[in-house]
Amino acid sequence: MSEHQDILHALQSVLEERKNSDPDESYVAALYAGGADKILKKIGEEAAEVILAGKSDDDEHLVYEIADLWFHSLVLLASRDLSAQPVLAELARRFGVSGLEEKATRSKQN
Amino acid sequence: MSEHQDILHALQSVLEERKNSDPDESYVAALYAGGADKILKKIGEEAAEVILAGKSDDDEHLVYEIADLWFHSLVLLASRDLSAQPVLAELARRFGVSGLEEKATRSKQN
Amino acid sequence: MSEHQDILHALQSVLEERKNSDPDESYVAALYAGGADKILKKIGEEAAEVILAGKSDDDEHLVYEIADLWFHSLVLLASRDLSAQPVLAELARRFGVSGLEEKATRSKQN
Amino acid sequence: MSEHQDILHALQSVLEERKNSDPDESYVAALYAGGADKILKKIGEEAAEVILAGKSDDDEHLVYEIADLWFHSLVLLASRDLSAQPVLAELARRFGVSGLEEKATRSKQN
């Protein structure tokens, strides 16, 4: 369970570190250096790839393409000094779910 | 910290529950009923909205649109009985980060 | 032959006329009133529909969706007081084809 | 006037010729060889570029990106042995415009 959350945190750390990397040696640093348009163009490309993967039966391929789409979303957020946290908070708000409440519920069940 | 992970888990539960909901009463159930094309079309729409939001300085708006994009990705995954877990695992694999390792590192630091 | 060219001209006239129409009564006028973002969002949506149609064998459906994509491109151009003319000129430039030269060639052949 | 129509015809001829070209030497032949997914992915990319160009004031850039989008639409059509003709016919049908009628009208005016 905690693995997921930790992955997002670990990724965030990597994305922050890359702000000091050489664009010639780091793909993420090259995206930052390319500016918003470069990152946004990638989001358009990856969305098209998700749509195409969504038309095939290959689950692994779909997961791979969604990972690409989410990854570039995280780069976009990081480029503006944002993280996945407010995105997940917005999702929680919409669906009336709360990590803390859910956790409490599960604790009672166990 | 655990809040994030719990939000994804709680959302997953909601998306599973909606498989038994009336498409006339639940937006998610209507997406499932519409089939892959309906969900994939939404992913294209939301990607366009992220690109447009990415051109403005409004962080809140950007977060909102990325939440929309991720949400429809989760619906797509759920429609194929998949969750966010393999997506995060793929991201972890690429960046050589592991929730468990990262967690262990942080535990030592604290 | 001349039909195609005349269609683009006729469409251009319609798009110009709609600049004076009531957004409540004309779809095109509503797009203009919505501004660039509204038109650009539609281009993203229609591109997703073309991708989905491109995965089916239904030629008629594909033609319909490409017509939608081109139509919204023409609305975007018209909203900036541009027409299809420079777009076609750019295509001609790239491929080393020229309407006039091509016409001359064909005239010789007939 | 006839230039536009002739450009589309000339382009169509080029796209047909490329079906016999070496994918290593012709970009269009490489697209055909890549199959529908390769062409459809490009349509997604070019749509994202149109959206980004639509947010700038550079008309020339916008025209360039729309030319890219239309070009890949024409490649998609050609890959299925279709042309721009039914697309323009669909647009004419929707807007109640007809090249022939429009031409007749203009002839009377001149």
**Do residue D41 and residue A48 have CB atoms under 8 angstroms apart?**
yes
Confidence band, pLDDT 50/70/90 cuts, at residue A9: confident
Q: Which ipTM was obtained for this model?
A: 0.87
pLDDT one-digit tens code per residue, D61-100: 999 999 999 999 999 999 999 999 999 999 999 888 765 4
What pLDDT score was predicted for residue D98? Answer: 64
Mean pLDDT score of chain D, rounded to an integer?
A: 88
**Mutate: best of D1, D4, D97, partner C, most C CBs <10 A:** D4
Cα–Cα distance measured from residue C84 to residue C12, given in angstroms and rounded to the nearest whole number: 8
Q: What is the pLDDT along chain C (110 residues), one digit of tens a residue?
A: 456 667 888 999 999 999 999 999 999 999 999 999 999 999 999 999 999 999 999 999 999 999 999 999 999 999 999 999 999 999 999 888 765 444 444 444 43
pLDDT in tens, B25-67: 999 999 999 999 999 999 999 999 999 999 999 999 999 999 9
Chain C residue nearest residue D67, CA to CA? C87
How does residue D109 score in pLDDT terms, banded at 50, 70 and 90? very low
Shortest CA gap D3–chain C (Å): 4
In this prediction, residue D96 carries a pLDDT of 82
Collapsing DSSP to helix, strand or coil, A22 comes out as coil
Per the CB < 8 Å rule, is A52 touching C55?
A: yes
Q: Tell me the chain D residues in contact with residue C107 when contact means C-beta distances shorter than 8 Å.
A: none
| Range of weakest confidence among A62-66, B8-12, C35-39, C49-53 | B8-12
**A108 close contact with C: CB closer than 8 A:** no
Strand segments, DSSP code E, in chain A are none
Q: Does B4 touch chain A (CB under 8 A)?
A: yes
**Closest-approach residue (CA) in chain C for B49:** C41
Cα D74 from Cα D91, distance rounded (Å) = 15
Q: Which residues of A touch D51 (CB under 8 A)?
A: 44
User: How open is the CA angle C26-C76-C40, to the nearest 5 degrees?
Assistant: 95
Q: What subunits touch chain B, counting only 3 or more CB pairs under 8 A?
A: A, C, D
CB neighbour list of residue C91: distance below 8 Å, 6 or more residues apart = D7, D11, D67, D70, D71
Is B48–D52 a contact, with Cβ atoms under 8 angstroms apart? no
A73 — pLDDT class (breaks 50, 70, 90): very high
How far is Cα A70 from Cα A52, in angstroms, rounded to an integer? 16
Amino acid at site C31: L
| pLDDT value at A99 more than 60 | no
Q: Which residues contact B59 (CB under 8 A, 6 or more apart)?
A: A80, A82
Give dist(CA B15, CA A109) in Å, integer: 20
Q: Which of A106-110, B80-84, C48-52 has the lowest mean pLDDT?
A: A106-110
3-state secondary structure chain D: CHHHHHHHHHHHHHHHHHHHCCCCCCHHHHHHHHHHHHHHHHHHHHHHHHHHHHCCCCHHHHHHHHHHHHHHHHHHHHHCCCCCHHHHHHHHHHHCCCHHHHHHHHHHHC
Nearest residue, CB atoms, D87 vs list C66, C76, C92: C66
pTM, 2 dp: 0.88
With residue A58 as reference, give the H or E element that holds it: none
Nearest CA to CA, how far is D29 from chain B (Å)?
27
